[in-house]
Amino acid sequence: MHTSFRGVGSGLLGVIIFSGSLPATRVAVSDLAPLFLTSARAVIAALIGAALLLVMREKKPARADLVPLAVVALGVVVGFPLLTALALQTITSAHSILFIGLLPLATAGFAVLRGAERPRPLFWLFSGLGSACVVGFALAKGGEGALAGDLLMCAAILLCGLGYAEGAKLSRKLGGWQVICWALLIALPVMTVMAALTLPASFATISAPAWAGLAYVSVFSMMVGFIFWYRGLALGGTAAIGQLQLLQPFFGLLLAALVLGEAVSPAMLAVTLCVVACVAGARRFAR
């Protein structure tokens, strides 16, 4: 019980940190190209991760761990950041945030395939209901996103779910923060080349908010959030803790309202209560 409680607390901190990712990305892509934003955030986070690994004198991962780490890198270092940055060029932050409600199903599905977790049938019922609440809310808002942006968000969710599930499995062996650090280092050579090739023509035209957005997604979204998130997944179980992601859209909408001036409707608060109930139900039947 104590381990489960610590897992929930750590996972919730990760969710809160991740909630600022899409609003920050939305601000950043106003002045920075998606390819540069994706590569630059990965390079910055990788340098921080390398310093942590050196200071803590961590052993190198085994050869058998390299492919799983590459999968984590594909999902959460490259795939999700790039696809969401591209999507946010055509859809609003609030619209994109609501797709995050599909992450628990994606994470749980890949956990079953990759991690041999077997949630009970009622888990899928509550998880599906929670996701339906989020999708229904997104559809009810209507008219905010182009089809291309929606498809990019769906692809981003699939890759992110894969990265989360693979990272959770590895974190039991390597440690939570070590997983994201090694994944970042694996992606560093490619990301460095990409950053060099996509450098802005002039840094003078980039606004302070765009730099702040880059700083947030580099330090918090790409590093600090994963330290808490993978620790939570390892302690509490991928399927169970993954349901906390259902709360992320609503934390994100609150931040979008504060940062971007978007309205927070009473309907959002009502759906939040439904999602909280679904999270509680899904956690009960996750194992």
Q: How far is CA 27 from CA 45, 89, 155, 208, 279, in A?
A: 19, 10, 21, 10, 30
Predicted pLDDT at 218:
96
**Which tens digit of pLDDT belongs to each residue from 126-181?**
888 888 887 777 677 655 556 788 889 989 999 999 998 898 888 888 887 899 99
pTM for this model (two decimals): 0.85
Q: What is the mean pLDDT of residues 58-62?
A: 93
The tokens 């060029």 sit on which residue? 89
Q: How far apart are CA 246 and CA 123, in angstroms?
A: 14
**Which tens digit of pLDDT belongs to each residue from 6-44?**
888 999 999 999 999 999 999 999 999 999 999 999 999
Predicted pLDDT at 117:
66
Q: What is the mean pLDDT of residues 181-192?
A: 97
Predicted pLDDT at 110:
86
Output the average pLDDT for the chain: 86
Which position has the higher pLDDT, 125 or 139? Answer: 125
Q: Where does the pLDDT of residue 52 fall: very low under 50, low under 70, confident under 90, or very high at 90 and above? A: very high
What residues contact 27, with CB distance under 8 A and at least 6 apart? 209, 210, 212, 213, 259, 260
Q: Has residue 193 got a pLDDT over 70?
A: yes
Predicted pLDDT at 143:
54
- Burial of residue 121, with CB atoms counted within 10 A of its CB: 0-12 exposed, 13-18 middle, 19 or more buried: exposed
Q: What is the mean pLDDT of residues 75-94?
A: 92
Predicted pLDDT at 5:
80
Q: What is the mean pLDDT of residues 177-193?
A: 95
Which position has the higher pLDDT, 8 or 74? Answer: 74
Q: Contact 104/131 with Cβ under 8 angstroms?
A: yes
Q: Where does the pLDDT of residue 111 fall: very low under 50, low under 70, confident under 90, or very high at 90 and above? A: confident
Q: Has residue 94 got a pLDDT over 80?
A: no
Q: Has residue 263 got a pLDDT over 80?
A: no
